[in-house]
Amino acid sequence: MDCQKCHKRLHTCSSCKGQTSRSLLGDRLTCSTCQSTGSVCPDHGGHWKR
């Protein structure tokens, strides 16, 4: 996937490991770093969507 703002390739979020982290109950955790998308832009961070 690419950033919708600058068209650079997105990277897997290091905070939530691409939304693979789970709570003790098995629920997906919310991530403020990537806005719970699992991806981040090198320039825009988690705000890569328009």
**pLDDT, position 22:** 73
Q: Classify residue 35 by its DSSP letter.
A: T
* Residues 4-38 pLDDT 10s: 999 999 999 999 888 777 777 877 778 999 999 99
Of 26, 28, 27, 31, residue with least CA distance to 14: 31
**pLDDT, position 25:** 81
Number of domains forming the structure of the chain: 1
Tokens 């998308």 correspond to what residue? 37
**pLDDT, position 24:** 78
Residue 45 to residues 8, 10, 11, 49, Cα–Cα distance (Å):
11, 9, 9, 10
Burial (Cβ within 10 Å: 0-12, 13-18, ≥19) of residue 50 = exposed
Is the pLDDT confidence value at 41 over 90? yes
Range of the domain at 13: 1-50
